[in-house]
């Protein structure tokens, strides 16, 4: 497996929705 680590996730809002089985990325969230 590959792994997306926290360095590359910086400033993105990362949303995890277990019900919808979905991961989302929102740029510039913080």
Binding site for another protein (CB under 8 A): 1-19, 21-30
Count of CA atoms in the C-beta half-sphere (13 A) of 19: 0
Minimum Å gap between C-beta 29 and another protein is 4
* Residue 27 CA: distances (Å) to CA of 1, 2, 19, 30: 24, 21, 23, 8
- We find the least distance from the C-beta atom of residue 28 to another protein, in angstroms, to be 8
């Amino acid at each position: 497996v590959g792994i997306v680590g926290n360095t590359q996730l910086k400033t993105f809002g990362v949303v995890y929705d277990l019900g919808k089985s979905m991961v989302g990325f929102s740029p510039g969230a913080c």
